Structure 1
Amino acid sequence: RGGGAARPAAAPAADAKPVDPVVKSIGRLQKRFPNAFPKNPAPKLPLKVGIFEDLVVHAKDLSLSEAELRDAIKTWCRGSRYWKSLVEGAARVDLTGAEAGKVTAQEAAGAQRLQAHRAAKSAKAAAASADSQKDTPAANSASAAAPVHEAPQEASLEASPPGAQTEEQAARADAPSDDKVAAQSANVSATTPTDPEA
């Protein structure tokens, strides 16, 4: 009694992959500015144009470089959850969550284009997947007809397996010509590299 062998500490999985640095940066923004960067399932809010400059002031407190902040904002402003918030006339928010402008008709139309592009690409991928599974003898009809679901960015921020493709990575491939819409939303240049490893 009482003299049992001590349990060894659980070792991390050997195949565990590191968390994407952008996910860590967004987590810091969510913790520090929850009214501007709400966690899923709360809907995202349109951010103030120029919010990047507001964040740069807090870079030291957040322990983030300007490049890390830029990548975090670009990632946050891409994806269906953010694009759905860009409705004409919707209030934009500053870091405290206070109103700081309105979404214009042009910005709302750009967000709708991005959503339509993503939906078309997902439908095309689902059709290609279904076609390739028809050719495989072991494929069953239920899995062949299953649509390809895009993983929400928020899940990657809060519960995705390490190494999973983020919505931002998918967005890079999806809409390179529409990067300006996402970048303009946060007043971030669309010409800077968005790959954290670049």
Structure 2
Amino acid sequence: MGFEQLAALKDQLAKQAEEKRMAKRAQHAKPAQNAKPAKQAEAPKQGGASKQAETSKQARPGRAAPTSARHAQAQKAPAQKSKPVDPVVLSIGKLQKRFPKAFPKNPAPKVPLKVGIFKDLLEHSEELGLDEAALRDAIKVWCWGSRYWACVAENAMRVDLNGQDAGQVLPAEAARARGLQAKRQKARSAAQSGAAHQAATVQQGSDAQQDAVVPQEDNAAEQNNAGAQGDAGAQDNVAEQNNAAQEAHVAQQDVVTQQGNASQKDSAAQQDNAA
């Protein structure tokens, strides 16, 4: 084989090797190209899922529930019970608002009202929204109290609903107002003294109980002392009895000793006589 043939064979082998390499590269490149669109297809799915999750989170009733539940509870919760207002107080408030010169608000002093002012008020009952009974109760409460009695002084000017002069307070009317005020003051003083007397009675009762406890303690102490003295006396009697018994025993021993000595002497004498 010549050099030309060898060169041609090498070229063929080299071309085949390159074709194989190119085929391998093409095989590796195809899965990568096929995988890219798959990833790109998954991306929108994931994006869509995330968007759906966000929309579902926003649309979840769980987060909006607390505010709606609180609102519902606030609507269902009963209003705090307020103290009922006396209807007479409401009626007087209407009179003060409509006729401020005849019914001044505290702390302004009251003024003596016109005799027969109740008839004038009846003419405004519809305007005030008060019936005859409500107006009567309002006037009765307004004119009954130290604040009104203090203004009913002798020769003081009475006023109508507009605050215009409408006569003077007569001496008898002033005296009656003073009597009512004195009676109320006396009732208050009696109530205060009664409360003080009750407190003093309770205090005396507690003091009496304490005083009763002290004699009981003294009696108990005396009884204990008497018992102790009795025990001492009994002990002394026992000691005396023991001493008496001891003395009797000693005396008996002396008698026995004397008898023994006497018998010994008699036996000795008998022996001497026998000898």
TM-score (norm 2): 0.46
TM-fit CA distance, 1:50: 0.7
TM-fit CA distance, 1:133: 2.1
Counterparts of 1:90 and 1:47, CA distance in 2: 10
**Deviations 1:60-110 (CA, angstroms, capped at 9, x unpaired):** 000000111011111111000000000011000000111111000000000
2:108 is equivalent to residue 42 of structure 1: yes
Residue in 2 that maps onto 1:91: 157
After the TM superposition, which residues 36-115 of structure 1 pair with which residues of structure 2 at under 5 Å, given as runs?
36-115=102-181
After the TM superposition, which residues 1-198 of structure 1 pair with which residues of structure 2 at under 5 Å, given as runs?
8=74, 11-13=79-81, 16-136=82-202
TM-fit CA distance, 1:131: 1.4
> Looking at both structures, which has the greater relative contact order when contacts are Cα pairs under 8 Å and sequence separation is at least 6?
1
Whichever residue aligns with residue 52 of structure 1, its letter is F
TM-fit CA distance, 1:18: 1.8
TM-fit CA distance, 1:11: 2.2
Whichever residue aligns with residue 36 of structure 1, its letter is A
Whichever residue aligns with residue 79 of structure 2, its letter is A
Counterparts of 1:102 and 1:123, CA distance in 2: 32
The structure in which a higher percent of residues are helix is: 2
Whichever residue aligns with residue 11 of structure 1, its letter is A
Q: Unmatched 5+ residue regions in structure 2?
A: 1-65, 204-275
Whichever residue aligns with residue 94 of structure 1, its letter is D
Counterparts of 1:10 and 1:39, CA distance in 2: 34
**Deviations 1:135-165 (CA, angstroms, capped at 9, x unpaired):** 345xxxxxxxxxxxxxxxxxxxxxxxxxxxx
Whichever residue aligns with residue 63 of structure 1, its letter is G
Q: Unmatched 5+ residue regions in structure 1?
A: 138-198
Percent identical among aligned pairs is 56
Whichever residue aligns with residue 70 of structure 1, its letter is R
Whichever residue aligns with residue 43 of structure 1, its letter is P
Counterparts of 2:96 and 2:178, CA distance in 1: 25
DSSP 3-state at the match of 1:119: helix
Whichever residue aligns with residue 20 of structure 1, its letter is D
DSSP 3-state at the match of 1:84: helix
Whichever residue aligns with residue 127 of structure 2, its letter is D
TM-score (norm 1): 0.63
TM-fit CA distance, 1:128: 0.5
**Deviations 1:1-40 (CA, angstroms, capped at 9, x unpaired):** xx97669478223xx4421111111111011100000011
TM-fit CA distance, 1:134: 2.6
Counterparts of 2:96 and 2:80, CA distance in 1: 26
Counterparts of 1:19 and 1:135, CA distance in 2: 38
Counterparts of 2:201 and 2:91, CA distance in 1: 43
